[in-house]
Amino acid sequence: MKLIYLDNNATTKVDENAVNAMLPYFSEKYGNPSSIYDLAHISHDAIQEAREIIKDFMGAETPNEIIFTSCGTESANMAIRGALALNKDKKHIITTSVEHHCVLNLYKELEEDGYEATYISVNERGELNLEELKNAIREDTALVSVMHANNETGAIFPIAEIAEMVKEINPATLVFSDCVQVAGKIKMNLKETKVDFASISGHKFHAPKGIGALYIKRRVKIPPFLIGGHQERMLRAGTENVPYIVAMGEAAKNCMQNFDKKIEKITYLRNKLEKGILDNVYNAILNSKAKNKVPNTVNIGFQYVEGELILLYLNDLGICASSGSACTTGDLEASHVLRAQNVPFTALHGSIRFSLSHYTTEEEIDFVIENLPKVINKIIEISPFQKELKELKNKNN
Ligand code: PLP
């Protein structure tokens, strides 16, 4: 059975180039970048080369604005804790109701520590309510955290416009953007924005799991996140993960090659999949409805059926998809993102996210379009909601 991997927002396959680029740093070029001899310089130079690439990938001004971390979660924690350390006297923090848990759960903890948090809502298309955000900014607002794209619906939030607005109302408020789900999907140009911090994670753009980066704007000087040696400009001590840093640089380089062509192909396949499902499955509704969204994501709610069951049937066909963010799969609670945009309760537990990459082929998408309706029909047959489904079928035909 051929594997059809449509869960690229959860993680991606590592590029062959990235694997080949990192292997020598395990076996031959294994020097500690902090040591003094030539072998160490090789590691040191490799890190600096990768930093240059990630600088271009994120659209930073200088390589010094890039700090290597272990993942997107660490980058977010470093940014948020760093921002609050800089704005010690301010106790109000803002974020959105649809952030990843690496931001939301940290905000919950900060609330327990005495911070007052405001969570900005989204509309029924999953777009951020900018007026609400504008009105929420106060004199004592230390930080605004707004993700660039949502992992479940792909909705893009206008972080450049948001940072501009925040700084105009309160220049001292710091802005962090979780850019994990835009890396490799849209071009980033952070130097042209007033965003102070931005995070990415290697495993979302064909680098290994366990490597990430944090962009910190040049003039923003935070205290160390990990205290120890002098690595990463003393902000994140600990011997660098040289092989993975090299791999992430290589993966970012690959992303930038033929970027427009790859995105055009992914967009075409995503749109084909979206239309193919909506046209052929009568109980399907579109959850990923934002006008501006990343090119690879489609989220569809299947009314009156159970998402976990759909995933199991798809798994039997070799198709990998997701019923929420990877971290919440297995949770009985419906996705906080879909609840926030008021997805009808009839579809909340039957929502599936398909996320493509440039490795996705048209043959794979055709296979899903052909087989998914059969899967849904099989599940509909055993659904306890026969009366509701019949009504829906009559209405939609
Ligand atoms: N932010 C977003 C939007 C994500 O989708 C994820 C991962 O799913 C993360 C942060 C966390 O990244 P990592 O797995 O590298 O910690």
Q: What is the CATH number of the domain that holds 368?
A: 3.90.1150.10
**Integer Cα distance of 105 and 110 in angstroms:** 9
Q: Do 293 and 388 sit in the same domain of this protein?
A: yes
Residues 238 and 188 placed together within one structural domain of the fold: yes
Residue 4 placed within a domain = no
Chain-centroid distance, C-alpha 311: 21
The answer to whether residues 235 and 263 belong to one domain is no
Question: Domain check: are 263 and 206 in the same one?
Answer: no
**Do 169 and 283 reside in the same domain of the chain?**
no
Identify whether 372 is part of a domain. Answer: yes
pLDDT of 168-215, one tens digit each? Answer: 999 999 999 999 999 999 999 999 999 999 999 999 999 999 999 999
150 CA closest ligand 1 atom index = 3
Examine residue 11 and state whether it is found in any structural domain, yes or no: no
The token pair at 74 is 């660490």
Q: Do both 175 and 266 map to the same domain?
A: no
User: pLDDT band at residue 332, thresholds of 50, 70 and 90?
Assistant: low
- pLDDT 10s digits, 305-318: 999 999 999 999 99
- Residue 9: inside a domain, yes or no? no
Indicate whether 305 and 156 sit together in one domain. no
Q: Give a yes or no: residue 176 inside a domain.
A: yes
Average pLDDT over residues 145-149: 98
Enter the DSSP assignment of 146.
Answer: -
Same domain, yes or no: 141 and 192: yes
Can you tell me the distance from the alpha carbon of 63 to that of 52, in angstroms, rounded to the nearest whole number?
5
- Which CATH number belongs to the domain containing residue 36 in this structure? 3.40.640.10
Q: Is the pLDDT of residue 17 over 90?
A: yes
Cα 335 to ligand 1 centroid, rounded to whole Å: 15
> The pTM is what?
0.96
As given in the structure block, the two tokens for residue 333 are 């609670």
Number of domains in the chain: 2
Residue range(s) defining the domain that contains residue 85: 16-256
Ligand 1: atom nearest CA of 147 is 3
Ligand 1 lining (C-beta closer than 6 Å): 71-73, 100, 102, 147, 151, 178, 180-181, 201, 212, 325-326
Who contacts 153 (Cβ-Cβ below 8 Å, separation ≥6)?
98, 126, 287, 288, 289, 290, 293, 297, 299, 337, 338, 341, 353
Average pLDDT (214-237) is 97
| 152 & 219 share domain | yes
What is the pLDDT confidence band of residue 240, given thresholds at 50, 70 and 90?
very high
Segment 285-290 shows an average pLDDT of 98
pLDDT at 304: 96
364 Cα: distance to centroid of ligand 1 (angstroms): 26
Same domain, 170 and 304: no
pLDDT at 87 over 60: yes
Q: Does 330 have pLDDT greater than 70?
A: no
Residue that terminates a domain, selected from 256, 279, 297: 256
Q: Does residue 3 lie within any of the structural domains?
A: no
Shared domain check, 296 and 312? yes
Distance, CA 183 to ligand 1 centroid (Å)?
11
* Per-residue pLDDT at 30: 98
Counting residues of the chain whose pLDDT is more than 70, the rounded percentage is 98
Q: Please report whether residue 236 resides in a domain.
A: yes
Tell me which residue has its CA closest to atom 9 in ligand 1.
72
Best mutation site among 11, 14, 68, 100 for ligand 1, i.e. most ligand atoms within 8 A of its Cβ? 100
Name the band, by pLDDT with cuts 50, 70 and 90, for residue 333: confident
| pLDDT for res 123 | 98
Same domain, 39 and 162: yes
Whether residue 141 is predicted with pLDDT greater than 90 in this model: the reply is: yes
Question: 319 has which bridge partners?
Answer: 4
SS3 72: helix
What's the rounded mean pLDDT across residues 247-257?
A: 98
Compute the distance from residue 100 Cα to the ligand 1 centre, in Å: 7
Q: Name the residues annotated as catalytic.
A: 327
